[in-house]
C-alpha cells in the first residue's frame, strides 16, 4: 500500500520481482474429496474467481493477476491465461453440466437434495490475507456455490494438509528457479506417504501430466523441454488441480545511494 508513495520519492528505489517457478495459488483442491473429484466443478470454480479483484485486494494494484501455472519469468513458460479466465457464464454452464442444476431457498445449487458446498481451510497468513478468502467466498456465492472458511492455527492446518483432511486449501506458493516446480506440486510422486512429505497436497494424479513431467526431468534438449513443458502447462489448465491467482511478487525498496542490489533466482 506504500508503493506509490515510495515511487514518488526521488531518494528511494522501488523494485518489483516475480519469483520464478510457480505463481501463487488462491486455492488447492483435494481431488479425492467431493465435490472437487469432478473436474467440471474444479474448472467452474477457477472460472468463477475474479483474479483481478484478488490481485487488487492483496497487492493494491502492484500484483499481476494469473490464470496459468508457471511464473512468467521462468524458462519454458508458455502463456495460457484464457483457458481458466474469469467467466461467470461459463462457470454456471459447467456447474449445470456437472448436475448441480437445482437451487435451494438460499439460492445455492443442489443435486440429489445436497447443497453444492465445500469448506476452505485457511490460516492467518500475510501473503494470503483473510480478505482474499472472503472475496473468493463472495465470487462463488454468485454461481450458487457455498464455501465456508475454516480458520485454524498453522500447526492444525499443516496437520490436515499433509493428511489430506480438507476439501480446499487457501493460498500457497512454492519457488524454484526452474519449471520443475510443476513436478514438485503436481506429479503423483509428490503426494505425501508415510515415508515422504510431498507438496502435492491435493493428492492429484494424472497419468499424462506424470509422463511429460517425468520426461522433462530426463531431458537436456531445450527444444524437447519447450514441448514437454508446453504440454504440462496445457494439461494443468485442463485438469485444474489448483487455482492460480497472482504472480508471486516481492516488492523491495531501498535508498538510491545503495548500489549493486541483486536478487537470487527464486526469491
Give the CATH number for residue 17.
3.10.105.10
The answer to whether 180 and 199 have CB atoms below 8 angstroms apart is no
The H-or-E segment that residue 138 falls in is helix 130-141
pLDDT tens per residue across all 267 residues of the chain: 899 999 999 999 999 999 999 999 999 999 999 999 999 999 999 999 999 999 998 889 999 999 999 999 999 999 998 999 999 999 999 999 999 999 999 999 999 999 999 999 998 777 677 889 999 999 999 999 999 999 999 899 989 998 899 999 998 888 888 999 999 999 999 999 889 889 999 999 999 999 999 999 999 999 999 999 999 999 999 999 999 999 998 899 999 999 999 887 665
Structural domain includes residue 267: no
Structural domain includes residue 29: yes
How many independent structural domains does the chain possess?
1
The answer to whether 217 and 184 have CB atoms below 8 angstroms apart is no
Structural domain includes residue 266: no
Structural domain includes residue 260: no
The answer to whether 249 and 3 have CB atoms below 8 angstroms apart is no
> Does the reported pTM lie above 0.85?
yes
Residues 188-220 as b or e (16 or more Cβ within 10 Å = b) = bebbbeeeeebbbbbbbbbeebbebbeebeeee
Q: Which residues span the domain enclosing 229? A: 3-255
Amino acid at each position: 500500500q506504500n508503493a506509490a508513495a515510495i515511487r514518488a520519492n526521488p531518494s528511494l528505489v522501488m523494485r518489483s520481482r516475480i519469483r520464478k517457478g510457480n505463481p501463487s495459488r488462491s486455492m488447492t483442491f483435494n481431488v479425492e474429496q467431493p465435490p472437487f473429484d469432478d473436474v467440471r466443478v474444479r474448472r467452474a470454480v477457477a472460472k468463477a474467481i475474479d483474479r483481478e479483484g484478488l490481485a487488487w485486494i492483496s497487492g493494491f494494484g502492484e500484483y499481476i493477476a494469473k490464470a496459468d501455472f508457471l511464473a512468467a519469468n521462468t524458462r519454458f513458460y508458455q502463456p495460457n491465461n484464457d483457458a481458466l479466465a474469469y467467466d461467470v457464464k461459463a462457470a454456471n454452464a459447467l456447474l449445470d453440466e456437472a448436475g448441480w442444476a437445482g437451487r435451494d431457498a438460499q439460492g445455492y445449487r443442489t443435486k440429489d437434495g445436497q447443497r453444492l458446498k465445500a469448506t476452505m481451510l485457511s490460516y492467518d497468513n500475510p501473503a494470503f490475507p483473510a480478505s482474499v478468502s472472503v472475496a473468493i467466498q463472495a465470487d462463488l456465492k454468485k454461481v450458487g456455490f457455498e464455501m465456508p472458511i475454516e480458520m485454524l492455527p498453522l500447526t492444525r492446518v499443516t496437520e490436515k494438509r499433509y493428511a489430506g483432511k480438507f476439501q480446499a486449501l487457501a493460498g500457497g506458493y512454492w519457488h524454484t528457479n526452474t519449471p520443475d516446480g510443476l513436478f514438485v506440486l503436481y506429479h503423483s510422486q509428490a503426494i505425501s506417504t508415510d515415508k515422504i512429505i510431498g507438496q502435492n497436497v491435493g493428492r492429484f494424479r494424472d497419468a499424462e501430466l506424470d509422463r511429460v513431467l517425468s520426461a522433462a526431468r530426463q531431458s537436456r534438449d531445450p527444444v524437447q523441454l519447450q514441448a514437454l513443458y508446453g504440454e504440462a502447462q496445457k494439461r494443468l489448465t485442463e485438469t485444474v488441480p489448483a487455482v492460480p491467482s497472482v504472480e508471486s511478487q516481492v516488492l523491495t525498496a531501498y535508498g538510491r545511494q545503495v548500489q549493486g542490489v541483486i536478487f537470487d533466482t527464486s526469491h
